[in-house]
A and B are shown apart, each in its own frame.
Chain A
Amino acid sequence: MEQRLRSEVKALLEQGKIDRVIGFEPGSLKFTTTPLITSDGGDVDHLVINPFIVNNLSVYLTGTSGRVGIVAKGCDSRSIVSLIQDNKVLRENVVIIGIPCSGVIDLTKVERLAGKDRDELDDIVRQGDKITVTVGGERKEFPASEVLFDNCLGCEFPTPREYDILLDEPVTPTPDKAISEQKLDSLREMPPEQRWQFWKEEFSRCIRCYACRNVCPACFCERCFVEESEPQWVLPVPRWQDNLIFQVIRSIHVAGRCTDCGECERACPVNIPLRSLTREMCNLAEELFNYKVGIDKEAPPLFVAYELEEAEDLIR
Chain B
Amino acid sequence: MADSKRINKEDTGRLLDEWSKEFSVSVPSRENGMPAMLPWDGKDTSFLEWYRNTVIPPKANFFPPYEKMFDFQKGAEGYHLELPPSDKQKQLIFGIRPCDARALTILDTVFQDTYQDPYYLSRRANTVLVGLGCTNPYDSCFCTSLGISPGESTDVDLMFTDTGDGFFIEPVSDKGRELLAATGGLEDGLEADEARAKDVKEAAYRKITRRIDTGDIQQRLAACFENQDYWEKVAAKCVSCGICTFLCPTCYCFDINDELSQDEGTRFRSWDSCSFPIYTRMPMENPRQEKWRRVRQKVCHKYWFYPVNLDITACTGCGRCIRLCPVNWDITQTLNNLPASS
Which residues does A use to contact B, with CB under 8 Å? 27-30, 32-38, 55, 59-60, 117, 119-120, 201-202, 205, 207-211, 213-215, 227, 229, 235-239, 263, 266-267, 269-271
Contact = CB atoms under 8 A, between A and B. Distances in A.
B177 interface: no
Contacts of B329: 34
A121 B37 CA distance: 26
Contacts of A205: 32, 34
Contacts of B176: none
A273 to B, nearest CB: 10
Contact of B328 (A28, A37, A60, A235): A28
A119 B138 contact: yes
A215 B237 contact: no
A215 B32 contact: no
B216 interface: no
Lowest 6 CB-CB distances: which A-B pairs, in order? Answer: A209-B242, A267-B326, A211-B241, A119-B139, A34-B328, A214-B239
B247 A27 contact: no
Nearest to B34: A270
Contacts of A34: 237, 327-330
Contact of B246 (A37, A119, A120, A207): A207
Given A30-B139, A201-B32, A215-B326, A207 B239 contact: no
B247 A269 contact: yes
Contacts of A30: 139
Contacts of A236: 255, 257, 270, 272
Contacts of A267: 241, 243, 326
Interface in B308-342: 322-324, 326-330, 332-333
Contacts of B182: none
Nearest to B210: A28
A210 B326 contact: no
B121 interface: no
Nearest to B239: A214
Given A34-B237, A59-B239, A211-B242, 20 more contacts: A28-B322, A28-B328, A28-B332, A35-B237, A35-B327, A38-B236, A60-B236, A117-B52, A117-B138, A202-B32, A205-B34, A208-B65, A208-B271, A209-B241, A236-B272, A237-B259, A237-B268, A269-B34, A270-B55, A271-B33
B79 interface: no
The residue among B66, B270, B322, B326 with the most chain A CB atoms within 10 A of its own CB is: B326
A163 B324 CA distance: 32
A13 B270 CA distance: 46
A209 B138 contact: no
A37 B292 CA distance: 14
Interface in B253-283: 255, 257, 259, 268, 270-273, 276, 278, 282
Contact of B65 (A36, A201, A238): A238
B183 to A, nearest CB: 32
Contacts of A59: 239
A32 B56 CA distance: 22
A29 B328 contact: yes
Given A211-B326, A237-B257, A29 B34 contact: no
Contact of A27 (B242, B272, B328): B328
A29 B322 contact: yes
